[in-house]
Amino acid sequence: MIGVSRLSSASELQNLDLIDLLSERHTLVRRISEKAWNDQSDIYISNSEWYIMARIYKKRPTISYVTKNVDISRQAIHKFMKNLAAKGLVEISNAENNRKEKCIQLTALGEECYEKNAALKEQFENKIAEKIGAEQLQILKELLKLDWGIE
């Protein structure tokens, strides 16, 4: 499927429950998305790094805010932030009102990469729409946005 081998055959997917179906599809689309970026860029960015970049795009949150709002361990977040800074994708600076607190924001290069990746994801979404239908894709997105009352 779209440049990356499928995790499961269609018949194997038929026997999965909701949790496993979501997991299989999530893993597959993340792998395809990561490959699409890495095939066209010299800057390797992991899915976890994209996850952090998405939380700070067009913002300047504190590192503690990111740590509390991203489902990654505190130590791993700090490692990813150092990696992102070393790649020139983020800047870490002192917060204005608190010297102990640090803020993080995307650099111009980080924003450019984020926006290019957003375009790649949009192309991928369009391919999915071609396969399952634009209306079905919209229904799926709306279902995923609903409050499932499970938190």
Backbone angles phi, psi at 40, to 5 degrees: -115, 5
Question: Six-digit token pair at 1?
Answer: 């499927």
pLDDT at 97: 81
- Alpha-carbon distances, residue 20 vs 13, 60, 99, 116, 139 (angstroms): 9, 35, 45, 30, 20
Cα 59 from Cα 144, distance rounded (Å): 25
pLDDT digits over 67-117, tens only?
A: 998 889 989 999 999 999 999 999 999 988 887 889 999 999 999 999 999
All structural domains of the chain: 10-145 (1.10.10.10)
pLDDT at 113: 97
Question: Six-digit token pair at 46?
Answer: 């992991």
Q: What is the pTM of this model?
A: 0.83
Element of type H or E holding 34: helix 18-40
Backbone angles phi, psi at 93, to 5 degrees: -140, 165
pLDDT at 79: 95
Nearest Cα neighbor of 106 from 146, 52, 26, 38 is 52
What's the pLDDT band for 3 if we cut at 50, 70, 90? very low
pLDDT digits over 16-45, tens only?
A: 999 999 999 999 999 999 999 999 999 999
Element of type H or E holding 27: helix 18-40
